[in-house]
Amino acid sequence: MTIKTPDWVKNATFYQIFPDSFARSQPTAKGQWQASSLEGWDATPTLQGYKGGNLWGTIEKLDYLQDLGINAIYFTPIFQSASNHRYHTHDYYLVDPLLGGNVAFESLMEAAHQRNIKIVLDGVFNHASRGFFFFNDILENGPYSPWLDWFKILDWPLSAYDGSKPANYVSWVDNRALPQFNHDNPQVREYIMQVGEYWLNKGIDGWRLDVPNEVKTPGFWEEFRDRVKAVNPEAYIVGEIWSDARQWLDGKQFDGVMNYLFCTSTIAFAGGERFDPKYVEYDYNPYPPLSAKEYGQKMLDLLNLYPEEIKLAQLNLLNSHDTPRLITTVGEDKASMELATVLLLTFPGAPSIYYGDEVGLVGGKDPDSRRGFPKTENWDVSVLKYHKELIALRHQYPALRTGSYEILYAQDSVYVFARILDREEIIVAVNVGTESAKVNFPVTKLESQPDRVLLGSGRLAWQTEVERSELEITLPPRNYLIVK
């Protein structure tokens, strides 16, 4: 079969927003409800406290995002929920009132699309919450509820809150706050399909699917894709899969996945021994350090996992709401962050910037990685500067988005590769070592001899003999060079 993924994704630079902590503004529409108690915006985030970020605030930040070079936003969940992260869905048809409700959402969609910014929402379709109407009816009415088959009830009585007693129903990772749907029930299946269609008809540009590997019902995601693409053939479907995702990336289910395999390898190379192993958790394991040769092999293995169309639709990232902030995990070493960002923004697939990374926001394991977006006076403007420059470079040169990826040299601390598209050839060289490096190697994969510096520091010189070109690159310690 011919695999097709959305063309816009291949040219997108994403920005991931955790709505409660990104931006807060006064509502501009009638019937907006104000929280009476919020934790401090700059206070350390807590598991249950709310900072009160809303979609009105996000609308006010769209010009900032556009100036940064962002043309797509992925929101973690925005639907009504009794949790600050909103992965405990109450109502899949209502935007949370604290975020501004459906009125704010409609204003956001209009404002974003006016700026040609795409919007991808988080679909939490494996589990709901204790407050989800169909499950709440079971809690109220027990075995008399008409909705028993929507969930997996094991025995009676249910214990939804008292951990000293058996929950007696199936929940995600045994968290009784997250009752798991019975996806084998045709009504449940149809309900989720209709939710997917509903928000696409409201104008969203795609779905990020939370823990989709937990849905075991045969054909579920194939049908979801068919229903989504029938509404909008260019809608993006991206799954939260932390490992080898080939079984979901067969062209019949997802367009791409959150590329944690890229994330962990890139941190292990750029951060090296600076990465603190205490931040390793479940599938997030950027340790031990990688040499350039090892990193190059991991990138080749990763690129060879998937067909070309899929490869260009991966959502590449360095951290997220589920991981500690990169800058914190490497002991706030700025060079590690910058080198990793260079590798992110020059790799095939769609890069995703986690809100605040571009201004140096720190944070450990969640909920600490979900801090309030800092005030302007607390921005690290040097970090913002190189984010803007790298994003602009990616937009300027198609080779950095959809060109082939050719490793030219990978030894010790020096990694050099080319992005090639037709006659456009760009070389990216990175030195993660603490000493300057001079390397010399033959180049056979390029038609031209790129020598115009676009970004970074260092020198390069070409030597040409009969049917043979050699490139000499000199790089300062912990630095990079991008040439065209």
CA distances from 339 to 68, 272, 326, 482 (A): 18, 11, 12, 12
Are the C-beta atoms of 483 and 453 separated by less than 8 Å?
yes
Strand partners, 80: 91
Q: In terms of Cα–Cα distance, which of 287, 380, 283, 398 is closest to 338?
A: 380
Q: How far is CA 164 from the centre of its chain?
A: 37
* Residue located via tokens 């959305």: 6
CB atoms within 10 A of CB 418: 21
Burial of 385 (0-12, 13-18, 19+ CB in 10 A): exposed
Strand partners, 482: 428, 455
CA-only gyration radius of the chain, Å = 23
* Alpha-carbon gap, residue 422 to 424, rounded angstroms: 6
Residues 6+ positions from 141 with CB-CB distance below 8 Å? none
Written as six digits, the tokens of 238 are 């991206």
List the end-to-end C-alpha distance of the chain, in Å, as a whole number: 36
Kindly list the catalytic residues: 210, 240
Strand partners, 460: 473
How do strand 236-239 and strand 453-456 relate by DSSP bridges? unpaired
